[in-house]
Amino acid sequence: MPGDFSTVPIVDFSRLTDPTSRDEELSRLRDAIFVVGFLYLINTGLEDSIHRTHKELPSLFNLPAEVKERCNMINSPSFRGTLGWGQRLLRPRPIFARYHVLFLQFDFGTPGMREWTENEPFWKRLEGPNQYPDYPGAEKLVRNYIESIDSLAQKFVHLVAESLSLPPDTFDEFKGSMSRLKFVKYPPAKALSQGVGPHKDSAGLFTFLSQDNIGGLQVLNNNGEWIDAPPLEDSLVVNIQQGFEAITGGICPATTHRVIAPTAKTRYSIPFFLSVRLDLTLEKLQASASHIKARLPVPNTEKRRDVDVPSEFLSPLYSCFGEAHLRNRIISHPDVGKKWYPDLYEKYSQQRL
């Protein structure tokens, strides 16, 4: 297909902030957003923070089973905590194909969220406190990482708006209060095993992924070919999520990707998912999307990618994105869903998007 991609482009964050190189780099950013939906972001200034965090991952994952069990996601109505240990390890989860569990993870949110109270909307319970493992400095590590990457993400979103000829603050009103951070471990598996199956990131605006030097991440192009996104030292792999796709009226679609499990060594990765506000209703989203779409420089057809899977943002079944997202969590983690939301589990497990 013309205008298709065979590599993941590199965008230099420091050039985006330097007046002498800014326009040229903004145009690379625009192409990456329109044509690929994936890019490597380099020279972000987060290199030390990323190294420090990666260094701790083997020890965190090697904590005794009972320590990890104490912060199991099953304890959390906000779906925070550890996942993949004990009996669930390596057992496929048929309901949600991407979660053929060949990985283990810690799942955190932006710190400082208070407990939900009954006078708040039920979906607001997604935004709850973290469960930190009993490991020296774990909370500080997570706090510092989220703080620095969230600040980079805000700047990045402004630059994306500018690259699309929109005012820098165009997307600010969509930002949620709790973003999500995962520490993920992929133990070695049989050749060509699926680490994470093909999927689009659904719940937010952009993902900022730090991967180690093992490899395995792949991105689907328009021809249906899997393009490697090999490790690039000190970079963050940034990709569009379905939230941004919905806000741009489908002009900037999310891109399908997957992770092939490693065979000889262990892969570690740290994805950060920049959130969308939970109270966003479909009406508000559609009104904003048409406003934004009208102002976007529409890419020529050669650069146009198609939106190919339904997005939970756009389902009329749900009162707002918070409810759609809660449904996604309940279906993806049925054990947690059944425990905290038994009625909703019954209702949502019957529905199709």
Ligand X SMILES: O=C(O)CCC(=O)C(=O)O
DSSP 72: B
**Could you tell me the smallest distance in angstroms from the CB atom of residue 351 to ligand X?**
23
Q: Rule CB under 6 A: say whether 211 interacts with ligand X.
A: yes
How far is Cα 304 from Cα 317, in angstroms, rounded to an integer? 29
Where does this chain touch Fe ion (CB under 5 A) — which range of 141-149, 185-193, 197-205, 278-286?
197-205
- What is the nearest approach in angstroms of Fe ion to the Cβ of residue 240? 11
User: Binding to ligand X by residue 12, rule CB under 6 A?
Assistant: no
E-strand ranges in 133-249 read 180-186, 194-199, 204-211, 217-220, 226-228, 236-240
Rounded to an integer, what distance in angstroms lies between the CA atom of residue 151 and that of residue 236? 14
**Distance (Å) of CA 265 to CA 83, 211, 293:** 21, 14, 45
Among 102, 159, 178, 184, binds ligand X (CB under 6 A): 184
Find the binder of ligand X among 36, 203, 259, 336 (CB under 6 A): 259
Considering CB distances under 5 to 8 angstroms, the limit depending on partner class, which of ligand X, Fe ion, none binds residue 141?
none
Work out what residue 184 binds among ligand X, Fe ion, none; the CB cut-off runs from 5 to 8 Å by kind. ligand X
User: Cα–Cα distance between 289 and 248 in angstroms, integer?
Assistant: 5
Q: How far is the CB of 16 from ligand X (least distance, A)?
A: 24
Q: Which residue among 73, 209, 289, 292 contacts ligand X (CB under 6 A)?
A: 209
Instruction: State the nearest-atom distance from the C-beta of 234 to ligand X, in Å.
Output: 16
Name the closest residue to ligand X (Cβ): 269
> CB count, 10 Å around CB of 207?
23
When asked if residue 162 is in the footprint of Fe ion (CB under 5 A), the reply is no
Q: Which does 259 bind (CB under 5 to 8 A by kind): Fe ion, ligand X, none?
A: ligand X
Number of residues that bind ligand X (CB under 6 A): 10
> For helices 22-31 and 138-163, what crossing angle results, to 10°?
100
Per-residue burial over 104-131, b if 16 or more Cβ lie within 10 Å, else e, is bbbbbbbeebeebeeeeebbbbbbbbbb
Q: Which of 32, 164, 178, 217 binds ligand X (CB under 6 A)?
A: 217
Which residue number, 15 or 267, has a Cβ lying nearer to ligand X?
267
C-alpha distances in Å from residue 183, one per residue of 146, 270, 323: 12, 5, 25
Alpha helices in 248-320 (DSSP H): 282-295
157 versus 259: smaller Cβ distance to ligand X: 259
Closer residue to ligand X (CB): 26 or 259: 259
User: 17: Cβ–Cβ under 8 A, 6 or more apart, which residues?
Assistant: 155
Contact positions with ligand X (CB under 6 A) in 264-283 = 269, 271
Q: Quick one: what does residue 35 bind among ligand X, Fe ion, none, with the CB cut-off 5 to 8 Å set by partner type?
A: none
The entry of ligand X, Fe ion, none near residue 217 (CB within 5 to 8 angstroms by kind) is ligand X
Q: Which is nearer to ligand X, 25 or 107 (CB)?
A: 107
Q: Pick from ligand X, Fe ion, none: which does 211 bind, CB < 5 to 8 A by kind?
A: ligand X
Encoded tokens for 242? 């379905």
**Span near ligand X by CB under 6 A; candidates 49-57, 65-73, 136-144, 209-217:** 209-217
Choice from 201, 245, 312, 323 touching Fe ion (CB under 5 A): 201
Cα angle 303-306-308, degrees, rounded to a multiple of 5: 160
Q: Read off the amino acid at residue 336.
A: V
CA pair distance 245, 224, nearest whole angstrom: 20
Which positions touch ligand X (CB under 6 A)? Answer: 184, 196, 201, 209, 211, 217, 257, 259, 269, 271
